[in-house]
Amino acid sequence: MKEIGKRKTRRSRILMDLSSVSSLALVLNLIVLLVTSKGVSGASFTFVNRCAYTVWPGILANAGSPRLDSTGFELPKDSSRSFQAPTGWSGRFWGRTGCTFDGSGSGACLTGDCGAGQMECNGLGAAPPVTLAEFTLGTGGQDFYDVSLVDGYNLPMIVEGSGGSGLCASTGCTTDLNRQCPSELRVGDGDACKSACEAFGSPEYCCSGAYSTPATCKPSVYSEMFKAACPRSYSYAYDDATSTFTCTGADYTVTFCPSSPSQKSSRDTTPVTEATPVTGSTSQGSGSESGVSYSGNGYGYSGSGYSSSGYGYSGTGYSGSGSSSESGSGQTMLTDGSWLAGLAMGDSPRTASPSIPQSVLMALTAVSLLFSFLYL
């Protein structure tokens, strides 16, 4: 009888141990589900308008990505609106200005118009010049984002991540480039500022034809001007190194006309008179940036980054100082070691390496499954 009692006691202890291990496995599974649920749900985008006027944001999903709840809407000053995007979504946002819409939503915009003839853009992109925010939400991994001036500029914009892991640096352009835009790029009475590609259409400015590779397409005096004013924004097609940023599991805020004096560059706002560009040569290197010069009052920027030569202008311009390079915090390398080009256009087939949080989650999942198979 004593032996039977001992066996029952031993069996009870084993069952209790198994129950404890099973509970531990269940807890581990719950932890994994809670931590990964953010990655499954995608990201929330909040648009904030701090401009002194109404902005009409436009939204364009890339091919293969679902459209969000709206593709274009009115955002009065000092207001905000949020949207949820699923994991894997990629696309772009921009702000339209000077819009006139009737009661049915039909109308057009002075800058950033999508050509739909109505407030909703319905799958149509923005007409340049326009400031763009571009996103690719990683499937269970990193998100990639940037603010691009490749298609020109129409209003200040910054992108900020919250609640994510990783570098998650803010990016964008807080400087009012419309007030500093050379006359040959200026639209209207300073409504927007064209890119050199849009203004002149030549291959060396558009990185096309014989200039379609990073080795042959170098920054122009115009893209360097944009870069000096907005160091974290894309200034030309191959400006990946200091312009692409990453974050994992974050929500994002896109702010138009951000009121951040510490981030704004102070520059003379003397009007620019007509100038004629003289094409020279540009080379990428390190050290001080020089050669972007004007006769009379002119642009002068110091810092490290690109050196340029052979550009001359006549007329009245701006003087100032700034930095044309960034430390690159937030930039990312792909698994093949190349920089991400055309990221949010949806034309990059490459994938990023798994992040550290992903690896930890994978390990937790493996351990919990092991316990489940052994003891359940």
Confidence of residue 272 (pLDDT cuts 50, 70, 90): very low
Q: Give percent of the chain above pLDDT 90.
A: 55
Is the confidence at residue 306, as pLDDT, over 80? no
Query: Mapping DSSP to helix (H, G, I), strand (E, B) and coil, where does residue 211 land?
Result: helix
Q: Tell me which residue of 360, 367, 366 sits closest to 21, measured CA to CA.
A: 367
Q: Which of 17-26, 133-142, 174-183, 283-292 has the highest mean pLDDT?
A: 174-183
Is the confidence at residue 137, as pLDDT, over 70? yes
How far apart are the C-alpha atoms of 299 and 184, rounded to whole Å? 15
How far apart are the C-alpha atoms of 115 and 130, rounded to whole Å? 14
Residue 21 has a pLDDT of 42
| Both tokens assigned to 22 | 């099973």
pTM of the model: 0.64
**Residue 25, CA distances (Å) to 12, 131, 291 in order:** 20, 49, 65
Residue 20 has a pLDDT of 53
Residue 30 has a pLDDT of 44
Q: Which of 3-12, 103-112, 122-131, 234-243 has the least mean pLDDT? A: 3-12
Residue 356 has a pLDDT of 42
Beta-carbon-side half-sphere exposure of residue 272 (alpha carbons within 13 Å): 26
Is the confidence at residue 335, as pLDDT, over 60? no
Residue at token pair 């009888």:
1
The pLDDT of 326-340, averaged and rounded, is 35
Q: Which CATH architecture has domain 42-175+230-262+329-361?
A: Sandwich (2.60)
The burial of 261, by beta-carbon neighbours within 10 Å (0-12 exposed, 13-18 middle, 19 or more buried), is given as exposed
Amino acid letter for position 277: P
What mean pLDDT value characterizes the chain? 73
Is the confidence at residue 244, as pLDDT, over 70? yes
**Which residues are CB-neighbours of 174 under 8 A, at least 6 positions away?**
156, 158, 230, 258, 260, 263, 264
Residue at token pair 């990185």:
207
Residue 268 has a pLDDT of 34
Q: Where is pLDDT greater, at 259 or 348?
A: 259
Confidence of residue 40 (pLDDT cuts 50, 70, 90): low
Is the confidence at residue 67, as pLDDT, over 70? yes
